[in-house]
Amino acid sequence: MAAPAPRTALVTGGAKGIGAGIAGRLATDGWRVIVADRDPAGAAPAGGRYVVCDVGEEASVAALVGSIAVAEQRLDALVCNAGFMIRKPLGALSLAEWSAVLTTNLTSTFLLVRAAEVLLRAAKGAVVTIASSRARMSEPNTESYSASKGGLVALTHALAVSLGPDIRVNCISPGWILTKGPEPTEQEHAFHPAGRVGRAEDIAALAAFLVGQESGFITGAEFVVDGGVTRKMIYPD
């Protein structure tokens, strides 16, 4: 008798940063991981495969999910992580730039879940969206990014209600997660009630839990993973 196919996960925006961390963690846990990203130089963890894909394009998403239906013949988890920021003053932000951010950060989740619904239902699978603490708090000149992440939180609970009980859908909203650049200063670490800036592994561990069987009673939820910053009262000096 042939061995059962391994649990299969699709991670978008998985070429680097948080997405790569999630893909690596799932692969370590025994999942077959398909990584989708626009970066032609990206790679998937051992045992998986990499697909160059713009998840904001409907035809590309359909082709991606179609390839999983043929090659893996199952999809147990979808992690919608793809996203980017344009930081510009409101008056300088063009409609095309606004739309590009909303398309990649928000509309892509709609396209992916819609395309993958049949496979996910068959597997009694799970979806994890990656929003941001910017859905709850903002810096100047981040309107498109904040709007996209706030929309993603709302889309998450809407999908959970529409697709349950077959498919669970949850959201992770990371705060400051160090994926590139210099090591934060001691003061920057200490600003967090948890005592440090976050790491990709922190988000990956939670994502792995949320797509696993032990989280079977959790759906429609948002998990703010920011070291406690959004709970911290800050007064002027």
Examine residue 234 and state whether it is found in any structural domain, yes or no.
no
Examine residue 190 and state whether it is found in any structural domain, yes or no.
yes
Residues labelled catalytic: 145
Question: Looking at residue 2, what is its pLDDT?
Answer: 53
Range of the structural domain that residue 144 is part of: 8-226
Residue position matching structure tokens 């989280």 = 215
Q: What is the CATH number of the domain that holds 105?
A: 3.40.50.720
Using an 8 Å Cβ cutoff, are 227 and 197 in contact? Answer: yes
Question: Looking at residue 237, what is its pLDDT?
Answer: 75
Print pLDDT tens along the chain (237 aa).
Answer: 556 678 999 999 999 999 999 999 999 999 999 999 999 999 999 999 999 999 999 999 999 999 999 999 999 999 999 999 999 999 999 999 999 999 999 999 999 999 999 999 999 999 999 999 999 999 999 999 999 999 999 999 999 999 999 999 999 999 999 998 889 999 999 999 999 999 999 999 999 999 999 999 999 999 999 999 999 998 887
Examine residue 145 and state whether it is found in any structural domain, yes or no.
yes
Alpha carbons within 13 angstroms on the beta-carbon side of residue 230 total 15
Examine residue 42 and state whether it is found in any structural domain, yes or no.
yes
Q: How many domains does the chain have?
A: 1
Examine residue 235 and state whether it is found in any structural domain, yes or no.
no
Examine residue 33 and state whether it is found in any structural domain, yes or no.
yes
> Residue type at 28?
T
Question: Looking at residue 133, what is its pLDDT?
Answer: 94
Examine residue 2 and state whether it is found in any structural domain, yes or no.
no
Alpha carbons within 13 angstroms on the beta-carbon side of residue 159 total 31
Examine residue 236 and state whether it is found in any structural domain, yes or no.
no
Say what the pTM is.
0.96
> Residue type at 97?
E
